């Protein structure tokens, strides 16, 4: 795989299209040292960004929660995202808008730093091995927990919140798993390292944790809408790890993960059932702007 700093083409950087290799961030940028950085992850399907406006609105919300204003309008960022995928000729891939504090100040306080914005895009296939998306991925249970909601800006896509996700995923991979289930500060089921989680019970109903200390994903909300359109009952509630043994199906949702079935969480086994396959197929039709037959 080509390292991300060695790729070719352009990146939208502070309003201009800049050669990929010439986009530089100073080593003393506040965003690097103090995690004053927010970002989005967006998917391109057949040349169009799925739910672009919702992603951009969340980017601006994240920035405000982090105490800074993005120096562009939402419409300008939407246009820039469309421009960069056209420039890079990305038909099916990923878009990464990111905003961060610059290097004018190097201390905890950073009220007078410049806010930088960049948008990169690249062709990208499945987040997980395609074979695993059919058979189901395996999760361990992380030793790290999502922090309490009064300790972090939990409803943002801020870079610092992903530190324990990286630690958890590395831990899982060392143990032979694909990803990791994270619990919340109360010990209830929260999410995977970069995706929300759903469970199917014996009555063909879905259960998913209440997003009160972790991100309420755009894909999560989309899949809930799809499920309800199919008359599937969805319970948003607190879920104890002790309940995992009672569920028969499990899957993850996320912009990168899309709809990915889970075959096990630690010793708890799940089936890749018809409902999960159907939800995935309906999601794929939706993002590619096609109608079900």
Catalytic residues, by residue number, are 157
Bridge partners, 196 (sequence order):
253
Using CA atoms, how far apart are residues 284 and 10, in angstroms rounded to an integer?
29
User: What is the torsional sign of CA 247, 252, 258, 263?
Assistant: negative
Burial of 86 (0-12, 13-18, 19+ CB in 10 A): exposed
Say which residues have a Cβ less than 8 Å from residue 129's Cβ, sequence separation at least 6. none
- Provide the b/e sequence for 42-78 (b: ≥16 CB within 10 Å): bbbbeeebbbbeebbbbbbebbebbebebebeeeebb
Of the candidates 207, 204, 216, the one whose C-alpha atom is nearest the C-alpha of residue 255 is 216
């Amino acid at each position: 795989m080509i390292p991300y700093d060695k790729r070719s083409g352009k990146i939208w950087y502070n309003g201009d299209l800049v050669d990929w290799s010439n986009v530089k961030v100073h080593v003393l940028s506040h965003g690097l040292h103090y995690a004053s950085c927010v970002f989005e992850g967006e998917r391109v399907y057949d040349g169009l960004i799925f739910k672009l406006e919702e992603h951009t609105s969340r980017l601006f919300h994240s920035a405000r929660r982090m105490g800074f204003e993005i120096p562009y309008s939402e419409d300008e960022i939407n246009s820039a995202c469309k421009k960069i995928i056209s420039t890079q000729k990305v038909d099916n891939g990923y878009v990464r808008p990111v905003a961060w504090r610059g290097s004018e100040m190097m201390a905890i306080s950073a009220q007078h730093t410049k806010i930088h914005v960049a948008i990169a895009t690249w062709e990208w296939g499945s987040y997980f091995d395609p074979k695993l998306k059919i058979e189901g991925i395996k999760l361990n249970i992380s030793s790290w927990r999502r922090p309490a909601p009064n300790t972090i800006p939990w409803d943002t896509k801020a870079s610092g919140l992903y530190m324990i996700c990286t630690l958890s995923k590395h831990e899982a991979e060392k143990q032979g798993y694909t990803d990791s289930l994270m619990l919340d500060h109360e010990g209830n089921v929260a999410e995977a390292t970069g995706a929300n989680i759903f469970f199917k019970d014996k009555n063909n109903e879905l259960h998913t944790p209440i997003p009160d200390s972790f991100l309420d994903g755009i894909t999560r909300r989309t899949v809930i809408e799809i499920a309800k359109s199919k008359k599937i009952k969805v319970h948003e509630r607190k879920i104890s790890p002790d309940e995992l043994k009672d569920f028969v199906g499990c899957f993850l949702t996320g912009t990168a993960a899309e709809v990915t079935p889970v075959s096990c969480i630690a010793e708890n086994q799940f089936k890749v059932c018809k409902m999960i396959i159907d939800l995935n197929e309906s999601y794929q039709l939706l993002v590619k702007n096609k109608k079900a037959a």
